[in-house]
Amino acid sequence: MAKYIKIIAFSFLIALIGSYWIVCDVSNNTVNIPSDIKLIIDKSKNKNEFYKVIQHYKNDSLKLAATYFLIRNMDDKYSILPSNKATIYKTALENIPLLKEENNWDPTKKSTLGILMDSLSNIEPVGYKKVYDMNVITAEFLIENIDLSFEVWENPPISKYYDFNIFCEYVLPYRFANEPLSNWRKNAYIKFKPILLDTSHITKDIAIQVIKKSQIHYNIGMAKYPYPLTFEEIDLIKWGTCEHLSQYQTLAFRSIGIPSTTDFIPVWANRSLGHEWCVFLNNDHCFEDIGIAHSGKNDLLYKFSKIYRKAFSHHCTPSDSIFSDNYKKINYLLYQDVTDKYGRTSDLTFNNLDTNSTYALCTFNNRQWIPVSYGKKKNGNICFHNMGQGKSYKDYQLSYTNEGKGVIYIIAKLNNNGMEFIEVPFILYEEGRMKKLKPDCNQRQAVILNRKYPEYEHFYEYKKNMLGATIEIANDSLFKDKKTIYRFTGRVPSESRIIIDLPAFSSQYIRYKNVENISINLSGIHLFYNKKKLKSKLYSPSVSIEYLNNLSDDDILTYCTINSPQNYIDIDMGEKTFINQIEITCRTDDNEINHNQIYELYYFDQAWISLGVQKAKHCFLLYEQVPSNALFLLKNKTKGVEQRIFTIENGEQIWW
């Protein structure tokens, strides 16, 4: 093993250090330091600390090489800290373990953590400061980090499992992203070391044990916490976003010597936001992705255009920097492109672009175009490599009604003022074919629009589950003399809100009953007589009264789900009451066309161009004189935030 390590050390040092050295006096000892390392250290306000580390390892070539690796890649590493040390956010963080909270994936459900963060933002404005590692890191901190890293790498069961290059990139780094510096490695090692005691192979089972032992759970409310968290803070509060959870997993793996990092989607290709997850190196020397559930399964539920892998080292030269200060500085050139490991991709070449300019390929995030890849010059052309076609290799991907089979991209020219769109959008289909969406204003059409955002499969299923359901009335609460007055039949309703006009009847007890073994997913039940809303109380043996109250709170986004053999909801009017209308609202995303709300339709031709504003008179909008072969966006100007690009094909909205 010692001979193996020396061979690796020698070859790595030759490649890493190069042929230029500077002789420096460090604590009265002569140490040869590579010239580039010396230049980096000289820019630091903390140079003596680096010289102490170099002196400490002057007789250990491998640890010295590890030191140089960290220094070489440290100049752009920093912590993002609150500008106010006594911030109330930190105080709140310490009290989060006292909150009664549960896993929360659904943004429509009220997260206790999210409510807490909202309340804090009203008290204290968020303020940031950057603290660069080069100016504050200590020799003691680096030496401890390096020594602990080598300790787990050189001892069973990790030894001989991967080489020094992998070690430097995916085990040695002392930080994950921009969190405050901390002694996470020692703390994580103590917690997770027992997992390795009874194993000789690093497999997904080991990774699952790490997940189970961590006891960290997802909560969407933590997306509102404004500052990066340390490993110790995540371990304390036990809640986090996908980024927090992947950070925790990555550092846990590294602490026990398992090479690990995160892969991330900067922005989904068919919705807003992005995603991040942990990957680890298994005994087959392949990086394996792992989710945050106890099963370890990592589903990629939406379409992706790009997936990148984070690393500690720089993956580009300074000349690759192509960002102005006018939009978010995420330089994807710093990351490894791993899109083709997760789905089908295409290399795209454009020969009509000025090669003296810089270009990005963008996807739409529901509000604006976001750069996801940057063009490279090749043989007088601009090339974009490894672009996602929209099809994942994963077993499961969420689908929706009228789904477009591919991804829509647009090329943007980057300059000091931001992005300039000089081309029309295009579709990259799943089989690799491309189609430009150049609006044809000479071939106009009339279109009927039913939604502003795609209807995902589960919302369609909620409506489908209503077929066969009945409305019953009775004179007693046990429904011994029940009578069916309405049955849901025919086609799956296009609207979530169903208004049932009935001959007037008098009853105290009404029951909505679903077909046996079919779940109930409703967001509203209201009864009327001559258009006057009636008061009532709801009851079901399967759920709480508080949960049922979601059906009468006039908030269409709150809902009640019943998965039980007793799949019915009783309505008690208090006394016999005349009724001639019942309104049942299925669980919905509220993205249908709503009566009396204001909408505006746009098409894209180098910018979004309005086709007019309408007030909805029906459950649909009719627009005439609409360009063909165009990309569209429909906005609700009355309320709501979700909106999605679509095309019109054979009179139907096709969503991308």
Structural domain tally of the chain?
Answer: 4
Average pLDDT over residues 266-289: 94
Which of 560, 586, 612 marks a domain boundary? 586
pLDDT at residue 25 tops 80: no
192 and 325: one domain?
A: no
Local structure of residue 77 (DSSP, 8 states) = -
422 and 485: one domain?
A: no
Percentage of the residues of the chain whose pLDDT score is greater than 70: 91
> Can you say how many angstroms the Cα of residue 136 is from the centroid of all Cα atoms in its chain?
32
Q: What pairs with residue 153 in β-bridges?
A: none
Contact 455, 656 (CB under 8 A): no
pLDDT at residue 321 tops 80: no
Local structure of residue 195 (DSSP, 8 states) = G
pLDDT tens for 350-399 read 998 998 899 999 999 999 999 999 999 999 999 999 999 999 998 888 88
- Domain membership of residue 16 (yes or no) is no
115 and 245: one domain?
A: yes
Average pLDDT over residues 107-122: 80
**Side chain identity at residue 79, one-letter code:** S
CA 448, 454, 460, 462 dihedral sign is: negative
CA pair distance 411, 359, nearest whole angstrom? 7
Q: Which of 300, 231, 248, 244 is nearest to 113 (CA)?
A: 244
Q: Which of 642, 559, 652, 629 is nearest to 594 (CA)?
A: 642
pLDDT at residue 252 tops 70: yes
Which of 256, 273, 289 marks a domain boundary? 256
Q: What mean pLDDT value characterizes the chain? A: 90
51 and 135: one domain?
A: yes
pLDDT at 417: 83
Which of 562, 586, 610 marks a domain boundary? 586
- Domain membership of residue 364 (yes or no) is yes
Local structure of residue 340 (DSSP, 8 states) = G
pLDDT at 17: 41
CB-based burial label for 647 (10 Å; 0-12, 13-18, 19+):
buried
Average pLDDT over residues 517-531: 97
End-to-end CA distance of the chain: give it in Å, rounded.
Answer: 54
How many Cβ atoms are within 10 Å of 186's Cβ, its own excluded? 13
549 and 601: one domain?
A: no
Contact 4, 163 (CB under 8 A): no
Alpha carbon distances (Å) from 172 to 17, 36, 150, 217: 18, 21, 8, 26
Alpha carbon distances (Å) from 565 to 84, 258, 514: 55, 47, 10
39 and 139: one domain?
A: yes
Tokens standing for residue 296: 């370890």
582 and 596: one domain?
A: no
- Domain membership of residue 12 (yes or no) is no
Average pLDDT over residues 612-633: 97
> Can you say how many angstroms the Cα of residue 86 is from the centroid of all Cα atoms in its chain?
30
Average pLDDT over residues 141-164: 92
* Lowest-confidence pick of 8-12, 207-211, 346-350: 8-12
- Domain membership of residue 117 (yes or no) is yes
Q: Which residue has the higher pLDDT, 294 or 322?
A: 294
- Domain membership of residue 6 (yes or no) is no
pLDDT at 29: 56
pLDDT at residue 239 tops 50: yes
* Lowest-confidence pick of 99-108, 314-323, 418-427: 314-323
247 and 154: one domain?
A: yes
Contact 412, 362 (CB under 8 A): yes
pLDDT tens for 551-598 read 999 899 999 999 999 999 999 999 999 999 999 999 999 999 999 999
pLDDT tens for 397-408 read 888 999 999 999
- Domain membership of residue 295 (yes or no) is no
Local structure of residue 318 (DSSP, 8 states) = G
pLDDT at 549: 94
Percentage of the residues of the chain whose pLDDT score is greater than 90: 76
**Using 50, 70 and 90 to split pLDDT, how confident is the model at 19?**
very low
460 Cβ neighbours under 8 A, 6+ residues apart: 400, 401, 492
Q: Is the pTM of this model over 0.85?
A: yes
Alpha carbon distances (Å) from 430 to 2, 388, 408: 51, 9, 11
> Residues 374-407, buried b or exposed e (16+ Cβ, 10 A)?
bbeeeeeebebbbbbbbbbeeeebeebbebbebb
421 and 450: one domain?
A: no
243 and 127: one domain?
A: yes
Q: At what angle do helices 47-56 and 139-153 cross, to 10 degrees?
A: 40
pLDDT at 330: 58
pLDDT at residue 6 tops 60: no
CA pair distance 249, 278, nearest whole angstrom? 7
pLDDT at residue 18 tops 60: no
**Using 50, 70 and 90 to split pLDDT, how confident is the model at 485?**
very high
pLDDT at 213: 93
* Domain enclosing residue 231, as ranges: 35-256
Alpha carbon distances (Å) from 522 to 456, 512, 542, 555, 565: 16, 11, 14, 12, 17
pLDDT at residue 329 tops 60: no
- Domain membership of residue 504 (yes or no) is yes
3-state helix/strand/coil string of 439-482: CEEEEEEEEEECECCCCEHHHHHHHHCCCCCEEEEECCCCCCCC
Alpha carbon distances (Å) from 566 to 234, 510, 540: 40, 15, 8
- Domain membership of residue 276 (yes or no) is no
pLDDT at residue 316 tops 70: no
CA 232, 238, 241, 243 dihedral sign is: positive
489 and 369: one domain?
A: no
**Using 50, 70 and 90 to split pLDDT, how confident is the model at 197?**
confident
Q: What CATH number should be reported for the domain holding residue 367?
A: 2.60.40
Query: Residues 301, 302, 308, CA angle at the centre, nearest 5°?
Result: 100
Query: Residues 569, 574, 575, CA angle at the centre, nearest 5°?
Result: 115
pLDDT at 21: 43
516 and 417: one domain?
A: no
Q: Which of 276, 316, 605, 312 is nearest to 438 (CA)?
A: 605
